[in-house]
């Protein structure tokens, strides 16, 4: 990065891909523990890209909200050297959902998929103080609700109804703000970290991934 920070990432490619899934992960672990999720996308014909945020894994440098956004945007622009935007699917999981929404608002990806998103970072911390150390409250105010206002692509939200970390009601609030833009899929009985235990999650994900990009319609 321009400020001397360093971003480490994983990048899986498949022959004759349908495009790329740019996956903005949650805030726990490094990509060493997240790479296993690539199989859900490469098996559906997509290339897969995931980075570690600064301070995670091999990525280094000072981290702030703006630097996280800048890094994520830099990677998005790098991907556009190899894919047209209608071949890029943005996927944001948990903490990464707000980052994905921010990047979608600045660009024109084919789809935005939000997995267990929060209405806004501050809203979630105010309600659930155990989500992250309280010092983060002063450093981050990721406004998923506002970013979606200027997002042009279809938005698909997948959320467990028994999620106690980021309540399902937050996805319902997002849906109520933009009912014509957002499709909300409830995974009945699922919590925050066990969505892959539910076949309905994969049925929904694969259905969303096979929505035809604009160039294929």
Does the residue 3 lie in any domain?
no
Does the residue 215 lie in any domain?
no
Report the pLDDT value the prediction gives residue 217, as an integer from 0 to 100.
43
Number of domains forming the structure of the chain: 1
Q: How far apart are CA 55 and CA 62, in angstroms?
A: 8
Q: Is 32 helix (H, G, I), strand (E, B) or coil?
A: helix
Does the residue 150 lie in any domain?
yes
Does the residue 217 lie in any domain?
no
* 158 in Cβ contact with 113 (< 8 Å): yes
Q: How far apart are CA 109 and CA 106, in angstroms?
A: 9
Does the residue 45 lie in any domain?
yes
pLDDT tens, the chain, 217 aa long:
888 899 999 999 999 999 999 999 987 777 877 778 899 999 999 999 999 999 888 999 888 889 999 999 999 999 999 999 999 999 999 999 999 999 999 999 999 999 999 998 777 766 655 555 555 555 777 899 999 999 999 999 999 999 998 999 999 999 999 999 999 999 999 999 999 999 999 999 999 998 755 444 4
Does the residue 193 lie in any domain?
yes
Please tell me the chain's helix, strand, coil percentages from 3-state DSSP, rounded to the nearest 5: 40, 20, 40
* 196 in Cβ contact with 207 (< 8 Å): no
Does the residue 110 lie in any domain?
yes
Residue 146, domain extent: 9-63+72-210
CATH number where 206 lies = 3.40.50.1820
Report the pLDDT value the prediction gives residue 55, as an integer from 0 to 100.
86
Does the residue 2 lie in any domain?
no
């Amino acid at each position: 990065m321009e400020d001397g920070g360093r971003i480490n990432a994983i990048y899986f490619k498949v022959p004759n891909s349908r495009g790329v899934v740019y996956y903005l992960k949650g805030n726990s672990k490094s990509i060493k523990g997240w790479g296993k999720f690539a199989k859900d996308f490469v098996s559906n014909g997509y290339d897969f890209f995931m980075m570690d945020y600064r301070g995670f894994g091999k990525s280094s440098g000072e981290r702030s909200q703006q630097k996280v956004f800048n890094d994520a945007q830099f990677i998005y622009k790098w991907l556009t050297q190899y894919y047209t935007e209608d071949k890029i699917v943005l996927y944001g999981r948990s903490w990464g959902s707000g980052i994905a929404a921010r990047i979608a608002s600045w660009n024109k990806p084919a789809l935005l998929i939000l997995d267990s998103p929060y209405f806004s970072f501050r809203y979630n911390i105010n309600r659930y103080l155990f989500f992250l150390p309280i010092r983060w409250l002063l450093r981050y105010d990721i406004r998923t609700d506002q970013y979606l206002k200027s997002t042009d692509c279809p938005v698909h939200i997948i959320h467990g109804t028994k999620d106690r970390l980021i309540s399902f009601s937050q996805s319902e609030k997002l849906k109520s703000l933009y009912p014509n833009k957002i499709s909300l899929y409830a995974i009945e009985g699922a919590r925050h970290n066990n969505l892959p235990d539910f076949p309905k999650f994969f049925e929904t994900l694969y259905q969303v991934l096979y929505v035809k990009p604009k160039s294929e319609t």
